[in-house]
Structure 1
Amino acid sequence: MNHPNRLRAAIQADGTTPLIGVFDMFSASLAARHYDGMFVSGFGFAASHYGLPDIGFIAWPDIVAFVQRLRMAFPQQHLLVDIDDGYVDPETACHVVQQLEAIGASGVILEDQQRPRRCGHVDGKQVLPLEEYLAKLDLVLRSRRDLVVVARTDATEEEEILRRAKALAATDADVILVDGVRSVDWIHKVRRVIGDKPLLFNQIAGGKSPRLSLTELQQLGVDVAIYSTPCLFAAQTAIDQALAELKQADGRLPEHVPGAVGVSECLTLLEQNISRHHDRAPAEATH
């Protein structure tokens, strides 16, 4: 199964393709119930695997190992992977891209941020000189076989946003992302400057970008939408609330009522990830 080409076909189809940010195998198990695609979010991965903000702590072997586990459990899902700046060095970026493609990733996002990096929706971001980023991007593009590559800029000045978006659209990158875009008007501006190149939009609660439906995004010419943190933020809210209630109840667990999750419901979810339960295509005849 060619995972990159499956994602590429979804991007080229009508509508806006949603990819849900997952931060561990459990959140991915829930996301797979509702959506066909996942986004391996650096924000979520840094939070869940290190307990740290996404400002450059992620080690590339950790992200590769996580994607390998995801692919084993979810053989049909699109997997778009955040590789930050390619872990600083262009040669490392190429190595990581080849590793991810070999284990079944569908695509990667490569950004132009300078270290120390920041979440794309906070202030204080700095970007590499454009030519330096383009050289790194070119190496990555030449090192992949079929992998979908999203070129991302974190520029914040209006003139520089458009200059970089236009330059990225002129490369062989499959998709363009301007992160932290602040308004519908700016989505229109970016859409115009990149021509027919597919456009990705990043939605994050409490971020700088407007909240838009998939229907609205389609009308704006957006081809892919990543939802970086709904699973992570929902988990933070639910866990905090559940533990506060447990403490208030003097440690007595709540009654297990219909619709609540208990042992059986949790095991039912997780058993679907066992490989023997995966749908398989018929074996090809041999001669």
Structure 2
Amino acid sequence: MTYGNRLREQIAAPGTTPLIGVYDMYSASIAAEHYDGMFVSGFGFAASHYGLPDIGFIAWPDMLAFVQRLRGAFPAHHLLVDIDDGYVDPEVACHMVQSLERAGASGVILEDQKRPRRCGHADGKLVLPLEEYLEKLQLVLATRNDLLVVARTDATEEDDILHRAEALAATDADVVLVDGVRSVEWIERIRGVVGSKPLLFNQIAGGKSPRLSLTELTDLDVDVAIYSTPCLFAAHKAMDTALAELRLADGRLPAAEANMIGVKESTDLLARNITRHHPAAAPQGAAR
């Protein structure tokens, strides 16, 4: 079964499928210990690879190379990839989709923002005319073989949100995402207009959307939940704390503790990225 069809099958199963945002190979190695699905977040990748905010700096060859490395280390995990607006041009979007599918991506998210683009939970977002976006989306859909495609709108006006969600649901896209949804009521309204089409919900700490459990999302008939930044923000806090403590201790490393991460724990984690390729290796990701 192809990677795209494996993810479709997972999404079609009962419950809400969680996909955890990863930003580099180390964060992915940790995420793989807990979940069987990853989301290659544009927010996290822009921060990690460039040290810049998620406002359009990502170059498609860099994202492609990252996905190739991920698939090499995680042969059995779902990989949903944020490709922003397809890197502007429809031709580039189609080339990227073909390249990602060959690299082993499970799916992509294609948004309707126009430049200058913004994080989906930021203010000041602008969207393409609907027909222009639908033309790009249709070209991407015609280009893919089995790759799963999520059609995303960043509309902010109430009437436009529902109009675009309904239009995206009428396409051959596999899943619909309305980013920056502000309330449970709006999840229900969007669910009403997309009909039977699978629905994706994006959660990000400090973002515009409510914090909901997988049980609550299942009750709302949401099929997929992406968690864009839990690894990135946790690493930010942990590193800031560790370095502040190191400075206060005049550069003396803390004493070893039972739950401390040291050389052995780190090496063991990374070694599993090799053993996953052994036929007898047990899968590391936890189901749902």
Correspondence for 1:280: 279
Give the distance between the partners of 1:186 and 1:60, measured in 2 at CA: 33
Correspondence for 1:123: 123
**CA separation of 1:210 and 1:62: change in aligned 2, threshold 3 A:** same
Give the distance between the partners of 1:248 and 1:278, measured in 2 at CA: 43
Normalization by structure 1: what TM-score? 0.97
Q: After the TM superposition, which parts of structure 1 deviate over 3 Å for at least 4 consecutive aligned residues?
A: none
Does the Cα contact within 8 Å between 2:73 and 2:276 map onto a contact in 1? Answer: no
Correspondence for 2:284: none
Give the distance between the partners of 2:29 and 2:109, measured in 1 at CA: 22
Cα distance, 1:168 vs structure 2: 0.2
Cα distance, 1:173 vs structure 2: 0.2
Q: Which amino acid aligns with 2:279?
A: R
Correspondence for 1:21: 21
Correspondence for 2:143: 143
Correspondence for 1:233: 233
Correspondence for 2:3: 3
Normalization by structure 2: what TM-score? 0.96
Correspondence for 1:285: none
Give the distance between the partners of 1:34 and 1:107, measured in 2 at CA: 20
RMSD, aligned α-carbons: 1.0
Give the distance between the partners of 1:230 and 1:220, measured in 2 at CA: 22
Q: Which amino acid aligns with 2:172?
A: D
Cα distance, 1:277 vs structure 2: 4.3
Secondary structure, counterpart of 1:6 in structure 2: helix
Secondary structure, counterpart of 1:215 in structure 2: helix
1:154-233, aligned counterparts within 5 Å?
Answer: 154-233=154-233
| Higher RCO (CA < 8 A, seq sep 6+) | 2
Give the distance between the partners of 1:195 and 1:109, measured in 2 at CA: 20
Correspondence for 1:30: 30
Q: Which amino acid aligns with 1:32?
A: A
Cα distance per residue 1:12-53 (max 9 Å; x no partner): 000000000000000000000000000000000000000000
Give the distance between the partners of 2:276 and 2:63, measured in 1 at CA: 25
What's the % identity of the aligned pairs? 75
Equivalent residue pairs, number: 281
Secondary structure, counterpart of 1:225 in structure 2: strand
Cα distance, 1:280 vs structure 2: 2.3
Cα distance, 1:254 vs structure 2: 0.3
Correspondence for 2:114: 114
Correspondence for 2:267: 267
Q: Which amino acid aligns with 1:272?
A: R
Give the distance between the partners of 2:142 and 2:58, measured in 1 at CA: 24
**Gaps (5+ residues) in structure 2?**
282-288
